[in-house]
Amino acid sequence: MSKGKAVSTSLDRPGCCSPKEVASNGYSSLSLHGDGGYRCSSYSSFSIDGRLLTPVHLDIDPNFQAMRQQETEDIKLLNNQFVTLIEKVQCLEQQNKILTTRWNFLKDQDNSHSESDIKAIYDQYMSKMNQEMKALNYEQGNLETELTKVLSTMDNFRSKYEDEIRLCSGMEYTFMELKKDLDVSTLHRTELEVKLNGLQELMDLKKTIYKQELEELLTEIKDISVVLGIDNACKLDLSRIVEEVRAQYEALALRSWEEAEALTRRKLNEGSTQSGTYGVHLLDSRREIADLNIQIQKLRSCIVSQKSQCLYLEEHIKEAGEHGEMALKDAKAKLVKLEEALQKSKEDMAHLVKEYQELMNIKLALDVEILTYRKLMEGEES
């Protein structure tokens, strides 16, 4: 399967006649004549939408190639980042060699410096070595993280590529099925158009017959006269009207009285509820006042305790001064121990150099893995 190749279809299939052949063969339809019988008449031609004769084209998505190129560019960018990290490691290795040379130079110099100067130089060197070691560990962690990301990205790209291949195969199969359905629907539509023309002519004939029958019925209709009688006799009962008006006014007065009574009761209920609410607020205010009094008592007791703590701290400061003098004496004694620790630190330095050699071996192994990965990527791109 080639990328970007167009897949075209045609409506001319074996075993199926095209719309042009259907039009040329001719179809018969029934027409109703004046003698009451049906005769068969043939149709030599009829109009078909020209868009049905246009072949259907289906192309593979052109963005697929662009996506593939973008994935390749991303992989190249990750390779460049790996090369940059390797260069950083080489630079740190060179700096380590320079520091080792300086250390050997300082060891070969005259040991006429005082012990304090030697200790300061050693501490400075140890701090630098610790920083370099931390930087190397950090770079190693970054390299491992980047390698993991690259491997996961490569797996994602591979899975996406396989999904696209499966999707493309499914779309091709769907296209073939749709092509078959389109051919069948085109033939069915042609048959329906022929039947529609016959039914249209039959309907026009029936309309003509209906109009003629309607005209005959209208000629038979005669004039019809209608006589309406109106009874003007009307009697008024004034007493009944007065009673009805009186009853309406009484009902209106009763309704007004009931509404006034309901309004009064509602206001009384609202007043009672408001009084209950005010009583609750009053109780809450009293509780808050009691709580504030309790807090005031607690604050007063806290002030007393703070004063006692201040006195205790003053005494503790005096004791701390005495302990400081004792600590100074202890520091002088510990200075001797620090000199012994200096010798031990030299031994630790040798241990660190050994660990550095192990890290360099790990770095070489990582370099081999990176080169292998680069060759694999170049082989995949080719």
- The pLDDT value given to residue 338: 74
Encoding tokens for residue 70? 């973008």
Q: How many residues does the chain have?
A: 382
Q: Centre a 10 Å sphere on the Cβ of residue 22 and count the other Cβ atoms it contains.
A: 19
Q: What are the structural domain ranges in the chain? A: 6-211
Residue 6: which H helix or E strand, with range? strand 6-8
Cα–Cα dist 353/103, whole Å: 12
Residue 234: which H helix or E strand, with range? none
Encoding tokens for residue 86? 């390797």
Cα–Cα dist 124/105, whole Å: 16
Question: How far is Cα of residue 151 from the mean position of the Cα atoms in its chain?
Answer: 25
Cα–Cα dist 121/115, whole Å: 10
- The pLDDT value given to residue 221: 58
pTM: 0.22
Question: How far is Cα of residue 177 from the mean position of the Cα atoms in its chain?
Answer: 35
End-to-end CA distance of the chain: 19
DSSP 170-188: HHHHHHHHHHHHHHHHHHH
Encoding tokens for residue 246? 């009186």
- The pLDDT value given to residue 275: 66
Cα–Cα dist 260/252, whole Å: 12
Q: What type of residue sits at position 314?
A: E
Mean pLDDT of successive 10-residue segments in the chain (382 residues)? 36 40 40 42 46 49 71 80 82 82 70 59 78 80 80 80 78 77 78 78 76 73 44 58 78 78 77 71 76 79 77 76 74 75 79 82 82 78 70
Tokens 């593939």 map to which residue?
68
Give me the phi and psi of 113, to 5 degrees please: -70, 160
Cα–Cα dist 154/73, whole Å: 12
Eight-state DSSP code of residue 231? -
Which residue in 61, 144, 134 sits closest to 366, CA to CA?
A: 144
Asked if 59 and 7 touch (Cβ cutoff 8 Å), the reply is: yes
Asked if 23 and 165 touch (Cβ cutoff 8 Å), the reply is: no
Q: Centre a 10 Å sphere on the Cβ of residue 136 and count the other Cβ atoms it contains.
A: 20
